[in-house]
Chain A
Amino acid sequence: MMMAEQTVAERTITLEVFRYRPEQESEPTFQTYEIPYREDWVVLDALNYIKDSVDGSLTYRWSCRMGVCGSCGMMVNGVPKLTCSTFLKDYYPRPIRIEPLANFPVARDLAIVLDDFMAKLVHVRPWIIRRQEEPLEAGEYRQTPEELDRYKHFSMCINCMLCYAACPIYGLEPEFVGPAAVALAQRYNLDSRDQGGRERMGILSTHEGIWACTLVGECTTVCPAEVDPAAAIQQAKLASALGWLRRVLVPWGNK
């Protein structure tokens, strides 16, 4: 037992970590840490090891360490990942390069600035909109399992922003509302309890809304929650186009 532990302790892995301390330096640098390698460690465990034992100034976000709070997204060897569910063993013995999520301003080290996303979230009006709210005494709105299935996967978004880091359009056109926000809009559009679809489509049916997207599909590839934002954008485009066709060809249809 002791022997086995010693052998394990001797194995190490190299982390190349993006550092940026705005009070001390004008340009980012990379710092290399050689740390113990453990078979069952995720990248976040390695960062926590560095912070606890080597360098307390390393800055990043994390909390739940079970893939649901959405805090710990970073670029791992150039790919957006939740570091709490990305295992060292999938990279070992090669070094791992860790950077803040691409396409966002950096606050410090591995922590990005979220302001843009938070504004876009509000912009798509992600709440139930109804012409008339039923009283609670009337009980629940009925919603069959099939109706729930229509939007359920779009409701799984954890706001981790991996999709924004992966999206080449967002990188070029920061005005683009982006994959997660469109998915959330679509989550409400498809909810049988909601009546705000037209209001939201007015917001989405613009260049900055959905039409900037060229359907690269990287958002869906990197999504850790299987939300499939690319499908949400595709659906919204279809709905928007049909809406346009209806307005142009049967203008009385909307009356």
Chain B
Amino acid sequence: MKPRDLTDLALRNLRESILRNALTTLGVAVGVASLVAMISIGVGLQELASKRLSQSGLFDTIVVTAKNNFRGPGGPPRSEANKDAGKPPRVLDEDARHDIEKLPNVIEVYPQVRFFTEVRFNNKPFATVVAGMPDSSKNSGSFDGMVGNFFSSSTANEAILQIEFAKDLSPNNTSSLVGQELVLRYAERQALPAPTENAAPASPGGSPGGGFSVVPRELRLKIVGVVETEPAQGFGGYGNARLLMPLLTASTLRAAQVTDLRDIVRDSNANKTTYASLSVRAKSPSQIDALETSIKAMGFGAFSLLDASKSLRTFFTVFDLLLLIFGSLALAVATLGIVNTLVMAILERRREIGVLKALGAADSDVQQLFFVEAGVMGFFGGIFGVLFGWLIGRALTFGTNVYLKRQSLSSIEVTSVPWWLILFAILFAILVSLVAGLYPASRAAKLNPVDALRYE
């Protein structure tokens, strides 16, 4: 029989016992819905975690430091350090920054500018850590839901306050701070003239630096936003920095940093900017490994949290698998429903099968007819199941968000039904239904037409 005739006949047969077949299809739909709901929770939570982690910059960022004479994060093992003991460590300066920028798959390289200082607001002093934020952080999602706006330009004299700090400044109404000004007091590093040749002997690591003096400065900053999260709180990032300003503005302040004292004895030119560390953002976490190796080969220390990311992916794969297994249990029960319905249909349609065979239907025609009927039930069960599963997901998200709102927390998407899940669920439902139809279809095909025609 041609496929269209086969489908016509199958649909007609399904319509004839509409209630029973609809209930069987509903059984499949409930099974698929449970599967879709379970997996959508897994996918939703994974997406939520990935989004948060990617916003944190934990897994696509490498922190580059100058190689130290002591072991530290990113420092080489002791044996390796000993090998290079004779050579001066490469300085992490603007040249190094440009070299790293040229590496493949690097999106951006920016220095970490952070310093502890004093802020004056309404003539009262407040101590805090100030951090420079690159332009790219605007799109990372870290500033989603903030009060006010991101910096108007990369060189603006503007500040965004972390809410805890904002509460220190204005305990009652933090949002009123937006538009007001504060004064940043900081220590500017100014290079001293280089010493004369007689002044000091050359050191093995190079000429000693000319040193620098520290000059107190003030800068007025306009508060443009208050943020609840801790933006870019990645390791080595801006955790605990409670006053954020544009990175370029922060860099031009030449504020004295903790590492400056070390640089005095290491760098010959105090006028030249060196960085305590550079953050390197890769295009994707998968390129971190290769990039880290390249940076280490350039003579710097490098450190990333890629391994933690791998563990996270493994966790979610196992989590999804478990959800899939539990979700499939309902579908397994629905499968029994299909077997039952089709076996009953064989009993009811025994004489009809005999007539079909007497009129010239081959065993394969009868088998395919039952297969198509099972497949059609699976197809519609799959479609309705996806719909129900999606609705369950929406209900879960709604319920969760109602709860979060009561706790004064921002809303989240707990579930996610991506297109591949829809396709997978429908195909899986059809496949399972066909497997369920195997036995009834084969039994129908093997019916002896003479016995079937005699059946009353």
Does B associate with A? Answer: no
| Chain B contact residues, CB within 8 Å of chain A | none
- Chain A residues at the B interface, C-beta cutoff of 8 Å: none
